[in-house]
């Protein structure tokens, strides 16, 4: 299939075009016979591809290691050290964040030295600080062919060979998607329109899961209704934690204050009433 | 069964089968060793989760064998026994309920009884499920009674334990009290568990159930 | 348990000491001996912070409420009547409570095996093949299920479906947690089993070189002697 020297292919196509089915078929993922890791598939929810037999990330990596290819193992180990994954080696794999689990499953799969590694929309969970070194690692390990499905195709424009799945000749990265500010729809009942706040202020937001290990410290910012905000940060930086605090699921530290149109409010006392939250894995909120 | 199903359907909704469509399970082969080895620990964790929550809330039920019943119907007798026994060993090992390990025999009996009843179409409709649950409860009460009398002097420190204490105060012997307590509470608890397990299985799409080779699924109309 | 040098208790010591300890727990009918045994076990638990934390949590959340309920039943409800060989209800309640706590402590010590020795230890006990994978898997996936349940309840909070954080509202979440939990379990089971087959994980485990046990001879002997002494004293209490 691949004739170029480039060993990474981006599987292009719209949502529901069949990219996942293609990757599963190419790697024989749903076959009933046990294979010998010639092809490995990793789907969109990395947790489902963790072995479930390891209580630490280090053991998970060891479980997948094939000792014969020492140099291969070394490049993966160097990559993990470079991105600072070291401090997570003694952690429970199921307690890692989505991005951290992605790194773990991809690194584990690479240690098996398959001939093809298919990654289905998993890398979307990684930020640039981790994704770029990972793609470089893929380029260095030329003995593996990588098939990557990712909705953020613009991040791969200079690197990769492309395989189109969809017949519709509409390249996602040709269009520049512009975000416009959202206006309150006229169809909403008046009683709801009246209760929509114009401005939300957060002052001195601090939070820690464990004492002396703050995740968020003295954060203050304003939000205005109708605008779209992007929350950027490295994997494990506290983006989901911040979202959960705003939604009222987690309780921040005492000196944190929230103001809605100048009026003091407490999201923790009314969870889900001030801010809503859409989850990374929709299966957890479909009921 | 229809009334029961409609009640639960409109009250709680149906399990979505979008995941089945998404993963195209229609052409899958039957249950394999790997599937069994992955599913059984998850069912053990389900037993532990529900059982320890009910225990922490000191409710007059146990609800700690839903996973055992589920696995016995889906995978068979041996996996069911393993699920039940390991659940209770781990519940005690994790420090969630120090009682549990004494009743591993009861969990094994639950799996055996469920397998027997399922092979006789005991979960085919609502009324059969209820009678199966009552029968299971009586059997569990009789099996657990000697353990409770020998180890705890007859009275456990949980909700049902108060029932036994009340019966002793009323003049019954300890054995009579334990058996009467068991026969009054266990059928309700086990019926609830059977109903819950059957409801959960019926909520699964046929394409998912077809991955399991157990003949109980066709005998009890889980797969038509 | 592991000390700073990374040693563990030898599997034979672990198993034999546990058998003697469990036998002692059931044979013994002396309250003072139970107290002494618990003191020694508690000292062993002190050697590892994680184990100690787990045990203290068990005592506070499970153990002491049990003792309170036992006391309520045997002292208040049953008028502190003598129970078996015990002169009063409270002694009996304390004895049964101690027996439960001792058994839990012994099991916690038995199951506290370093991750890298998990497979080697249970293979040593001839727990091979399917039972081994189920046992290890059940120990591991518990955190997966716990985190999923937490995420489901969190999703309900964040959508405003849980009005207040009181006990009754939290209890009402149970049926809403079980359905998505079961759906998630089946999805994971299908994907993970296919992944296992594709990666041939089971063959990897079988071919994985087992870790060599590094243990302290003196410490293991002391543990064995302690458990045998406890057993002997328990037998003496019968007479």
DSSP string, C85-132: TBSSHHHHHHHHHHHHHHHHHHHHHHH---GGGHHHHHHHTT--HHHH
Q: Does C157 lie in the same domain as C63?
A: no
Mean pLDDT over A219-239 rounds to 83
User: For residue B85, what pLDDT is reported?
Assistant: 94
Could you tell me the pLDDT band of residue B18, with boundaries at 50, 70 and 90?
very low
One digit per residue, the tens of pLDDT, for chain C of length 239 reads 343 334 578 888 999 999 999 999 988 888 888 899 999 888 888 877 877 887 888 888 778 877 887 788 778 877 777 766 777 878 888 888 888 888 888 888 888 877 677 777 887 787 777 888 888 888 888 888 888 887 887 788 888 787 777 767 777 777 777 878 888 888 888 899 999 989 988 888 888 777 667 778 888 898 899 999 999 999 988 76
**For position C21, what pLDDT does the model report?**
93
Whether C59 is in a domain gets the answer yes
Flag the least confident range among A114-123, B12-21, B76-85.
Answer: B12-21
* Distance separating alpha carbons of residues A134 and A155, to the nearest angstrom: 13
CATH of A190-285, one of 3.40.50.300, 3.50.50.60, 3.40.50.880, 3.30.565.10: 3.40.50.300
Q: Are residues C102 and C176 in the same domain?
A: no
B29: closest chain A residue by CA: A32
The SS3 call for residue C222 is helix
The beta-carbon neighbor of B42 closest among C107, C176, C188 is C188
Q: Which residues of A touch C165 (CB under 8 A)?
A: 271
Which domains can be identified in chain B, with CATH numbers? 31-145+187-219 (1.10.1760)
Helix (H, G, I), strand (E, B) or coil at A147: strand
Write the residue in C66, C137, C144 that is nearest to B157 by C-beta.
Answer: C66
**Residues facing A164 on adjacent strands:** A12
A283 close contact with C: CB closer than 8 A? yes
Hey, is the C-beta of A44 within 8 angstroms of any chain C C-beta? no
3-state secondary structure B55-109: HHCCCCCCCCCHHHHHHHHHHCHHHHHHHHHHHHHHHHHCCCCCCHHHHHHHHHH
Same domain, C182 and C164: yes
Q: Which residues contact A164 (CB under 8 A, 6 or more apart)?
A: A12, A13
Vertex B199 angle, CA B197 and B200, to 5°:
65
Residue that the structure tokens 């999201």 belong to:
A267
Do C139 and C180 lie in a common domain? Answer: yes
CB spacing of A31 vs C203 below 8 angstroms: no
Domain spans, chain A: 8-168, 190-285
Average pLDDT over chain A, rounded to whole?
A: 80
pLDDT of residue B220: 92
Q: Decide if pLDDT at B134 tops 90.
A: yes
Contact C192 A52 (CB under 8 A): yes
Q: Of the given ranges (A12-21, A155-164, B31-40), which has the lowest mean pLDDT?
A: A155-164
At CA C204, angle to CA B44 and CA C10, rounded to 5? 70
The answer to whether residues C57 and C106 belong to one domain is yes
Residue B56, pLDDT score: 65
Nearest-by-CA chain A residue for C204 = A63
Cα nearest neighbour of A114 on chain C? C199
Residue B145 to residue A279: CA distance in whole angstroms: 47
Domain A8-168 has CATH 3.40.50.300: yes
Whether residue C3 lies inside any domain: the answer is no
Confidence of residue A110 (pLDDT cuts 50, 70, 90): very high
- Assess whether pLDDT exceeds 90 at residue B212: no
Q: Which residues contact B147 (CB under 8 A, 6 or more apart)?
A: B102, B103, B105, B106
pLDDT over threshold 50, residue A169: no
The number of folded domains in chain C is: 2
Chain B residues closer than 8 Å to A37 by CB: none
C143 & C90 share domain: no
End-to-end CA distance of chain B: 15
Q: Is there a contact between C11 and C122 (Cβ–Cβ < 8 Å)? A: no
Q: Which residues of B touch A44 (CB under 8 A)?
A: none
C89 φ, ψ to 5°?
-60, -35
Q: Is C231 found in the same domain as C203?
A: no
Q: Alpha helix locations (H) across chain A?
A: 19-26, 57-64, 70-82, 98-111, 128-140, 190-195, 239-247
- Mean pLDDT on B40-64: 79
Residue C187 domain flag: yes
Sequence-distant (6+) residues with CB within 8 A of C202 are: A34, B34, B37, C133, C196
Question: Same domain, yes or no, for C15 and C100?
Answer: yes
Which of the four pLDDT bands, split at 50, 70 and 90, describes residue A286?
Answer: low
Asked if A283 reaches chain B (Cβ–Cβ under 8 Å), the answer is: yes
Q: Are residues C169 and C222 in the same domain?
A: no
Cα R_g (chain B), whole angstroms = 18
**Which range of residues forms the domain containing residue C144?**
127-207
Residue C132 shares a structural domain with residue C148:
yes
The two three-digit tokens of residue C172, written as one number: 């009402």
Instruction: Look up residue A47 and give its DSSP letter.
Output: G
pLDDT of B131 over the 90 cut: yes
Angle between helices B33-56 and C174-199 (to 10 degrees): 150
Q: Please tell me whether residues C31 and C131 are part of one structural domain.
A: no
Domain shared by C112 and C41, yes or no: yes
Place of tokens 């951290």: A100
Residue B212: enclosing H or E segment and its boundaries?
A: none
Q: Is residue B4 pLDDT above 50, yes or no?
A: no
SS3 for A174-195 is: HCCCCCCCCCCCCCCCHHHHHH
Cβ–Cβ gap B38/A52 under 8 Å: yes
**Closest CA in chain C for residue A108:** C199
């Amino acid at each position: 299939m691949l004739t170029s020297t480039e060993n990474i292919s981006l599987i292009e196509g719209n949502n529901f075009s069949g990219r996942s089915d293609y990757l599963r078929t190419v790697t024989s993922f749903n076959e009933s016979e046990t294979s010998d890791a010639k092809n490995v598939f990793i789907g969109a929810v990395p947790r489902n591809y963790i072995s479930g037999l390891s209580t630490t990330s280090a053991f998970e990596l060891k479980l997948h290691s094939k000792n014969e290819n020492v140099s291969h193992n070394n490049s993966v180990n160097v990559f993990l050290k470079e991105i600072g994954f070291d401090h997570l080696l003694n952690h429970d794999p199921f307690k890692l964040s989505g991005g951290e689990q992605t790194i773990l499953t991809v690194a584990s799969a690479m240690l098996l030295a398959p001939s093809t590694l298919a990654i289905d929309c998993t890398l979307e969970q990684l930020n640039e600080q981790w994704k770029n070194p990972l793609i470089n690692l893929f380029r260095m390990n030329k003995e593996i062919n990588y098939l990557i499905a990712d909705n953020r195709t613009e991040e791969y424009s200079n690197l990769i060979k492309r395989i189109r799945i969809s017949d519709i000749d509409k390249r996602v990265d040709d269009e520049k998607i512009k975000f416009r500010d959202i206006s309150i729809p006229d169809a909403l009942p008046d009683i709801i329109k009246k209760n929509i706040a114009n401005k939300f202020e957060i002052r001195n937001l601090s939070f820690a899961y464990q004492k002396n290990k703050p995740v968020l410290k003295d954060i203050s910012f304003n939000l205005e209704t109708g605008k779209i905000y992007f929350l950027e940060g490295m994997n494990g930086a506290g983006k989901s934690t911040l979202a959960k605090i705003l939604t009222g699921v987690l309780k921040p530290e005492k000196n944190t204050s929230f103001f809605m149109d100048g009026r003091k409010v407490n999201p923790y006392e009314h969870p889900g009433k001030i801010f809503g939250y859409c989850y990374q894995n929709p299966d957890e909120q479909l009921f | 069964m229809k009334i029961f199903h409609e009640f639960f359907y409109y009250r709680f909704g149906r399990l979505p089968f979008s995941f089945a469509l998404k993963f195209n399970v229609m052409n899958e082969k039957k249950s394999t060793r790997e599937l069994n080895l992955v599913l059984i620990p998850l069912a053990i964790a389900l037993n532990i989760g529900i059982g320890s929550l009910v225990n922490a809330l000191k409710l007059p039920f146990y609800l700690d064998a839903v996973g055992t019943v589920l696995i016995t119907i889906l995978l068979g007798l041996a996996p069911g026994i393993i699920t039940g026994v390991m659940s209770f060993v781990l519940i005690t090992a994790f420090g969630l309920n120090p009682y549990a390990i004494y009743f591993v025999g009861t969990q094994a009996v639950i799996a055996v009884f469920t397998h027997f009843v399922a092979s006789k179409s005991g979960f085919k409709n609502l009324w059969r499920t209820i009678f199966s649950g009552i029968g299971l409860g009586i059997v569990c009460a009789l099996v657990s009674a000697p353990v409770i009398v020998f180890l705890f002097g007859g009275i456990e420190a949980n909700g049902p334990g108060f029932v036994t204490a009340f019966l002793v105060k009323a003049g019954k012997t300890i054995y009579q009290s334990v058996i009467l307590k068991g026969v009054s509470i266990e059928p309700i608890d086990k019926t609830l568990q059977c109903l819950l397990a059957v409801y959960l299985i019926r909520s699964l799409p046929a394409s998912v159930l077809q991955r399991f080779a157990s003949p109980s699924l066709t005998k009890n109309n889980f797969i038509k | 348990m592991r000390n700073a040098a990374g040693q563990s208790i030898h599997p034979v010591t672990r198993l034999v000491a546990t058998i003697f300890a469990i036998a002692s727990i059931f044979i013994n009918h002396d309250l003072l001996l139970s107290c002494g045994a618990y003191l020694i076990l508690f000292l062993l638990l002190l050697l590892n912070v994680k184990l100690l934390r787990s045990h203290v949590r068990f005592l506070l959340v499970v153990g002491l409420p049990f003792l309170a309920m036992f006391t309520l039943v045997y002292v208040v409800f049953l008028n502190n009547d003598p129970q078996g060989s015990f002169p009063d209800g409270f002694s009996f309640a304390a004895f049964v409570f101690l027996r439960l706590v001792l058994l839990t402590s012994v099991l916690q010590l038995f199951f506290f095996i370093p991750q890298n020795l998990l497979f080697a230890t249970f293979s040593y006990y001839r727990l091979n093949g399917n039972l081994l994978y189920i046992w290890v898997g059940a120990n591991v996936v518990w955190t997966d299920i716990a985190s999923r349940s937490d995420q489901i309840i969190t999703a309900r909070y964040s959508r405003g479906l849980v009005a207040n954080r009181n006990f009754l509202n939290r209890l009402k979440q149970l049926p809403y947690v079980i359905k998505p939990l079961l759906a998630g379990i089946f999805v994971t089971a299908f994907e993970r089993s296919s992944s296992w087959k594709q990666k041939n994980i089971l063959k990897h485990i079988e071919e994985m070189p087992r870790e060599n046990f590094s243990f302290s001879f003196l410490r293991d002997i002391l543990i064995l002697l302690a458990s045998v002494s406890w057993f002997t004293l328990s037998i003496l209490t019968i007479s």
